Amino acid sequence: MRSPQDEMSVRRVLSEVLPEGAIVERVDFSEDGAAVTLWTQNVGLLLGRRGVTADRIRTAIDGELHRSVQLNIGELSPPDA
């Protein structure tokens, strides 16, 4: 199950692991806490070449939460001007 501490832990990990310039606007957890969805406008920064950055993020979150999670990355559309 997800707790408020889980979200704080994920946010702390993201601040340490994300490449410079990458911004995660929202973090969602699945009901059972087994999946984490990161929402951003620039998906390419979170994925990295061949998914290397995404793997590094997933490994860091797994270690912080002490369980295996599925990492999903969603794209937010830019606001209309």
Q: How many domains does the chain have?
A: 1
* 30 close to 19: Cβ distance less than 8 angstroms: no
User: Is 81 part of any domain?
Assistant: no
- Cα separations (Å) of 30 from 11, 33, 69? 16, 5, 10
pLDDT of residue 60: 93
Position 12, amino acid: R
Q: What pTM value is reported for the model?
A: 0.80
* 57 close to 18: Cβ distance less than 8 angstroms: yes
CA distance 11 to 64: 11
Domain range enclosing 15: 4-75
User: Is 40 part of any domain?
Assistant: yes
User: Is 67 part of any domain?
Assistant: yes
- Per-10-residue mean pLDDT, the chain, length 81: 79 86 83 84 86 91 89 84 56
CA distance 74 to 57: 14
